[in-house]
Every structure is written in structure tokens, then in C-alpha cells.
Chains A and B, each alone.
Chain A
Amino acid sequence: MNNSSSATEAQTTIQISENPPRRSFFTRFQRWEWMLVALIFLVVFLNIQLSPYFLNAQNLSRTSSDFMEIGLMMLPMVFIIITGNIDLSVASALGMSASFMGWLFNMGVNIWVAALAAIILGTLGGLLNGFLIARIKLPSLVVTLGTYAFYRGIAYVLLGDQAARGYPASFTYLGQGKLPGTLIPFSVGLFIILACIYGLVLHKTKFGRYLYVIGNNEEAAKYSGVPVARIKIIIFTLSGFMAALSALIMAARFGSTRPDIATGLELAVITAVVLGGIDINGGVGTMLGAVLSLILIGLMRFGMGLLNIQGQVQGIAIGLLLILSILLPSVIRQISWRKARPNRQILFYAFGMVIVFVLFFTFFFWSRAPVIAGG
């Protein structure tokens, strides 16, 4: 049954164009990626003006590694969200893998063997997600909400209130070390390489085109011979693998593991993806957008941290930016559809945008005011 169906799939595979539809020069400039680039420049400019510590390579280097676990888990999340699915269990899978590694290490297993076992466990966790979603055909939101609790539970069963610590320096290099002769943290180097690979797969391969096809219309994709189930299993397994990889990086950065490691990080991952212009309903988005949004979030957080803006306020700023990111493209779409002929709806959207902008910057500067005034 399986064989025959995949055989027919192969025969009936239709030629899906590898070329994206041609865009005019003007529409290219409406792209969300440019907005992100502009925001990055704005944030960099503001931060250079407001803090003398921002443009310091050592500081940037140290802070960049704070965001690499989010970045690594973001890469497969882009795939998953483009197909119209979601994986809420990534941070729990990270916790499970890291705790498994710590548990083995505490029992005296060699750290690299334990790390390999953790990678395998994380990948299996992803495979379980993929199997339930693709073969049993359960909604990804429900499945990963379940494994979100399940994997975190396993982490607590393994380590309880204990911590694993005392990892050798050769292992902590993964999270704390820098590439030889540079200030670039190892994890950043790893992220850049993997981001390129994931970007190439998404934008240059048939597999990548299939992801968009599934996201646009899953039924149509299925009847067009796209191996939907297999692709879903692959992307969720990848997500588990990357979560386990992030587990190694994070455990190495902390030099220790506790079962609550990375709690809540899945929301940061999804925020980075959505802010990157990837449609939560699937079918739209680029890897570049996600990478740019990660850089933007990182620079914003670092800049606000340098100005001693409180954590809650930082969260509000990122949240407003996220709302803006959802509002802005729909406004642009409205305008380009209606050929910029003003009508009530556009005015309404524009008004909403202005309000959000004003709120955002009022808040931003209001919260910075005492810092700026205080020198």
C-alpha cells in the first residue's frame, strides 16, 4: 500500500515552477525584508546615539551568543510555519535533550557520548511529533502542545531538583568558545552556516518549493503528488534535531543543566519567525526575513539592556513591534490592491498604524527618558 502510493506519487508528480513569479522593482521595495533592514539601521543608529557601549565588538560578541539557541530552533520553525503548521514543543525538546545529556553525564558517561545520545533523543522526539501529525493526522498545535508538557515532564523526571555540572572545557567551548583568531562565538559561526544551508534548501530546492505549496493549499498539494506526509515528518524531525543541537549549545553556554532550562523559549522562537514576515497561516515568507528579524530582536534587546530598560518594558516593545509587523503588510496589501485610491478602509488601517507607531515610540522614549536625562 505504501509502496504503491509512493509509486503513484512519483509518477504523477507535476512540474512545479522553480521560478517565483516576476516582481516589479517597485513591489520589491515593499517587501517586509526591506522594512526589517530599515528597522535594523534605525535601531543601530538610535543605540549608537544613546549608548557609548553599543558599538563595542566584545559586547556585541558576548550578547550575540545569547540569541543563538533561539536562532538555531528558528530555522526549522520557518519550514514548519511556512507549511501552515507550528511546533510548540521545541523548548521542551531542548530541555529534555539537555536533561538527558546531564543525567547521563552525572552517571559517569563520557560527555560526547551523552551529547550524541541527547541528539538522538531530541530527533526521536521530533519524529514522534511528525508521526502523530502526518500519519495520525492530528493538528500540529494540539500534538505539540501535548509534547510541550510531555517532554518538559521527562526533563524533570530525569534531573528532578538536581543539576548536571562540571562539563569539560572541550564541551563548554560549544557555548562559550570563540572561533580561533576572531571574536565570533562558535555558536554564531554554526548558526551562520546552518542558516545558509536552510536558506538554500528553502529557496533553491524542490523540497523548499513543496513547503510553500503545502502551506498554500495542503489538499491541492496532496492531489498534485506532493509527498505531504513525508515532508511533514521530515520537518518536525529536523525541528527535534535542531532543538537537541540547541540543547548542547545552551548547556555548554551555562556550563550546567537544570530541567527548567530554556522554559518559555518557544515563544521567542515563534516571535522571531512571525516578525520575519512568515505568514502564520503558511505559504509566505523567506529565510532572510527570519534571520533579519532575529538580528533586529537581538539588537533591540541588547540596546534596551544597555539603557537599563526593565525586562517587562522590553517585552512590551517587542510585542508592539510584532503587532506592527502583522499590521503593516496588510496595509501595504490594501494600498497596492486598491492602487492607492484612498477610501475609508485604508484610512482606518493607516490610522491604526499611526497609533501603533506613536504608542511604540512614545513608550520607547518615555521609558528611556530617565536614563537619557540622567546621562
Chain B
Amino acid sequence: MKNRSLYFGLAILAILAMLISACAPAATPEATDAPPEEGPKTYVLVPKNLGNPYFDTANNGAQEAAGELGVTVLYQGSATADAAEQITLLNSLIAQNVSGLAISANDADALVPTGQAAMDAGIPVVTWDSAIAPDGRVMHINQAEADGIAAVQIQMASELAGGDGGQIAILSATSTAPNQNEWIALMEEELKKPEYANLELVATVYGDDQDEKSYNEALGLFTTYPDLEVIIAPTTVGIAASARAVQDQGLIGKVFVTGLGTPNQMREYVKSGASPQFALWNPGDLGYLAIYALDALATGKIQGNNGDTFTAGKLGEYTVQESPELGLNVLLGPPFVYNADNIDDFDW
């Protein structure tokens, strides 16, 4: 009598084990027969997590691409930006035998086995926004390249300084941030071009990505360089703090702030004129391109080799390239410039 629950437990476990193993031979052929299905493709855009306006904007772009391609794009994410949850989600998507996965990875390494499992099941995998290591996907949609980021910022600064040029300064994050330093070096390189000869880089200061410190560094620039015309802040914290400093000091129209920022954070300053234009990639375009790239892979238009080319609707022609750190990737293009004309189209 007292053993009953125990035996019952063992029996359940045994049945479960048998169930799993017994189904195996019957179900396996079914699974392998499935891929050459006809009919509309179903792709899944997987963000890091749900409820993030940045990813929702990417989904808008992906749905636009879906409409043009005549495919279905599902938008499926985990509740939190957690690798384990994302793996569980991806397993259930692989189980449904979807036609392709476009993933923004929560962990570049932990998702490699899952990405491989998907590709083994015949499901092409591309990543966007945040890459899986090259072994776990076919290619990555790279939102921006350091060259492009540097070039667009100098170009914006030149436009803001006007035809006669003038003094510019850089307000960066920390002096040790590798990406910041790479961009600063490339911007200095860019400034050597003849068309930027009238721009003079007078100072590079560091706000440590803290709002107050960045604000004070901006104030310091105003007093040290009374003729300063443009501050370039390639950091989302620094650009907002600098623009606020310009606004607070009544320097709108005299000093302009530009750099890398996000629309919701910069909207006020774009409208006030403290920061008439700034750049960052457009997540909508990123989602749009990810779906086109996935479709090109899934329909066999490209095989995912270095040098393959495909057309991505309104964005034009793209080429698959290979780089040491990113493996196979597709570059979205130069960063997107946000200004008073377009900023209200974005909410992230």
C-alpha cells in the first residue's frame, strides 16, 4: 500500500521514457519529409524581448517587407531579454518548421547550438541588431560600420557649421571605450579630406556616459571656446546632455549639437534647434533588410556565400561580405539622419 505512489511514479517515468523513444521511428521520417513544402513562407522575426519600441519599429519594417514579398512574418520574442528563454522560444519555432528565423540574439555564444539545430533542420538563420557567433547562423545584418558612423557625423557637423566652417569639438563617453576611440580616430581621419579643411577640431572631452558630467563638460567647452560652432557627441547620453546645455545657456543658433542619439530622447532638441540633426541606423530598415535577406536565403536566390548579391526592395542592392569578427554579414548602409522633417515618424 505504502509503495503505491512510488511505483506509480516509476511507472509514469517509464511510460514517459517509452513514449519518447517509441515515437521516434514513426515520427522521424515525417519530420524530414516536411521541408520541401510549397505555399507561402512563414518567417519569424525574433527580438531580444517583447515590449521594446526599438524592436517594435524593426517589426514595422519587417511587416512592410512581408507585404512586398507576399510572405508571413511572425513577431515572436521572450518576455525578458534572457538567453535561456530565447532558446526555449527558438526550439518551439524550430519545432513548427518555420521557413526562416531572423534573430536578435541575447547571447552570442549560448545561441550557437540552437542556431545550428535550426540550420540542421533546414531552417535558414540570419541575425540582426545583435549577432550570434558565425557558427550559429548563416549571416548577420550589420546595422552600421565604424567608417560610416564617422563619416556621417563629420558630414552633419560640416552642414551645421555652414559654408565658412569653424571650430568643432567632440564629447565622447569614457576615454577607454574601444568603439568611441575607433570612431574618434576615424573622424580625425575624415577631417583631413579637403572638403572639411575649414573645420577645426579644437578639443575632445569625455563625459563618461554620465548625464551630469557630460553636461558640465559641454559647459566647459562653451567657456573655453567662445567661437565653438558644433559639438559632436557619438554617444546617446552625451548628445542629450550637450543639447540640454545649449538650450539652458541660450546658445541655440550659435552652437549646434550632433552625433548619435535616439529619436524619443532627441525630439525636443531637434524641434528647439539645439540639435537640428543627428544620426543612427533606422531599426525599421534593419527589420526590412533582415526579412529580404532571409527570403533570399530561403528561396535559394543566394546560398549565403561571400560575394552573393540580392535586391532588398526599396533599399536596393546588397552584397554579402565576410569580415574577421562578424563572419558573413550584410551592411545595412550609412547611418540614417534624423531631422525635423522625419523625427515624428519614429517612436522608439
Contact = CB atoms under 8 A, between A and B. Distances in A.
Interface string A166-192: 000000100010000011100010001
Nearest to A191: B13
Given A165-B109, A196-B13, A200-B6, A311 B85 contact: yes
Interface stretch (B91-99, B204-212, B268-276, B283-291): B91-99
A265 B84 CA distance: 9
Interface in A203-239: 203-204
Contacts of A200: 6
A66 B1 contact: no
Interface in B40-59: 49-51
Contacts of A182: 20-21, 24
A147 to B, nearest CB: 21
B9 interface: yes
Interface string B73-108: 010111110111101110111111100000000011
B88 A66 contact: yes
Interface residues of B, number: 51
Interface in B235-267: none
Given A302-B92, A311-B78, A33 B23 contact: no
Interface stretch (B110-118, B162-170, B217-225): B110-118
A6 interface: no
Contacts of A263: 82
Interface stretch (A53-61, A125-133, A337-345, A356-364): A53-61
B203 interface: no
A310 B91 CA distance: 14
A132 to B, nearest CB: 29
A291 B78 CA distance: 25
A264 interface: yes
A258 B2 contact: no
Interface residues of A, number: 61
A97 interface: no
B12 to A, nearest CB: 7
B27 A192 contact: no
A192 B12 CA distance: 11
Contacts of B185: none
Given A199-B6, A288-B8, A306-B96, A184 B113 contact: no
Contact of B113 (A57, A254, A258, A305): A254
A57 B20 contact: yes
A137 interface: no
A311 B109 contact: no
Nearest to A295: B16
A256 B109 contact: yes
Interface in B112-139: 112-113, 117, 133
A199 B17 contact: no
B50 A199 contact: no
A334 interface: no
Interface in A297-316: 301-302, 305-306, 308, 310-312, 314-315
A80 interface: no
B27 A57 contact: yes
Given A255-B113, A262-B84, A308-B76, A292 B27 contact: no
A263 B93 CA distance: 23
A58 B50 contact: no
B41 to A, nearest CB: 15
A60 B23 CA distance: 10
Given A56-B31, A255-B113, A262-B84, A312 B5 contact: no
Interface in A273-300: 286-288, 291-292, 295
Interface string A41-83: 0000000000101011111111110100000000000000000
A183 B21 contact: yes
B195 interface: no
Given A288-B8, A310-B50, A311-B77, A255 B112 contact: yes
Contacts of B94: 59, 62
Contacts of A33: 5, 8
B52 to A, nearest CB: 13
Given A53-B95, A63-B95, A305 B89 contact: yes
Given A163-B109, A196-B10, A311-B79, A62 B24 contact: no
18 contacts: A53-B95, A57-B27, A63-B88, A63-B91, A163-B107, A165-B133, A182-B21, A200-B6, A254-B107, A256-B109, A256-B110, A291-B12, A305-B89, A305-B93, A306-B95, A310-B76, A311-B79, A314-B79
Given A20-B2, A56-B27, A311-B77, 18 more contacts: A22-B1, A57-B21, A57-B24, A58-B27, A58-B28, A182-B20, A182-B24, A192-B17, A199-B9, A256-B107, A265-B84, A292-B12, A295-B16, A310-B79, A311-B80, A311-B89, A312-B51, A315-B79
